[in-house]
Amino acid sequence: MPREQIQKARAEGNAALVEAMLLAAISDGNISQTELQHLLLRMLERPEFDGLLPSDANKLIEASAEKLTRKGNMDEVLASLRERLPDHHSRLVAFSLAAAVAFADKRATRAELGLLKTFQAGLGISEEEVIRVIDVVESGGNLADVIGDPVERLYAEVMVLMTAADGEVKPQEAAALVQTFAADPLFEGVSPAQAEDLISDSVAALREEGLPQRIAMLARGLSSRQNRLRAYTLAVRIASANDSGEIKAPEARVLELLQTSFGLADDEVQRIEQQS
């Protein structure tokens, strides 16, 4: 997927997420200051908006609000959201963010609850997912605990970071990563085409945002210790996949950053490196 297409799809998806939150905020007739602050906070804490400056966030909110005024009925709005949020995960993110804004005042109004029911039906969110989201929102928890991120995408990012440790991902290296996807049980169910998209997305994000931001994103997305250990194990495997089997200095630097960001102990890291 060309970089321009990736950036366009990301921008359109982010605009759809903001529109979902705005709809929740205005569903009872007005936007409170608390709701607006909560909307901004959710934007700045979610990985979908990584790299977005507060000033750019305000511009995106204004543009999204203007766009909503030109929309027709709710069916048209939902159709637009579905088009820009094509997979279930992104739709669950939209519903969760809308719920967080609806409950920003600690209690959702009848109008806000009605909108959430409409979102649930229009975006295909299950009753079980709704219950989990509302529980997290009402308790003031972290949305990442219920939304998460597709773990395959995060693991792909780890692989790309290690492959790019020397400064770039060469075409033959990208092809080798796709083969790794096919051979690794972690990526069961991921087609070669999906693997190529995941790798292209990760390469583009790394070029655009840089190593520190992408590692910070991984630390947020891989919230469980088990997933962090799996990701580090995968990183070590990629780092040592050379003729000598030794981890070179650029890869060792990235591994050190991952260990620090993931909060892994030295003995855990040594055990992984010995077993890989």
Domain locations in the chain? Answer: 3-145, 151-275
Residue 3 scores a pLDDT above 50: no
- Condensed to tens digits (0 to 9), the pLDDT of residues 29-44 reads 777 777 788 888 888 7
Of 21, 134, 7, 147, nearest to 88 by C-alpha is 147
Query: For 256-271, what is the mean pLDDT?
Result: 91
Q: Using DSSP, how many helices (H) and how many strands (E) does the chain show?
A: 14, 0
* 3-state DSSP of 225-241: HHHHHHHHHHHHHHHCC
Give yes or no on whether 3-145 and 151-275 have one common fold: yes
pTM: 0.60
Which CATH number does 3-145 carry? 1.10.3680.10
Q: Give me the pLDDT at residue 2, please.
A: 43
7 pLDDT band, cuts 50/70/90, is low
Q: Which of 97, 88, 89 is nearest to 137 (CA)?
A: 97
> In angstroms, rounded to a whole number, what is the distance separating the alpha carbons of residues 65 and 120?
21
Full 3-state SS string of 174-202? HHHHHHHHHHCHHHCCCCHHHHHHHHHHH
The pLDDT tens digits for 55-104 are 888 888 888 888 887 776 888 889 999 999 888 888 999 999 999 998 88
Across 244-250, average pLDDT: 84
pLDDT at 51: 66
Domain 151-275 of CATH type 1.10.3680: yes
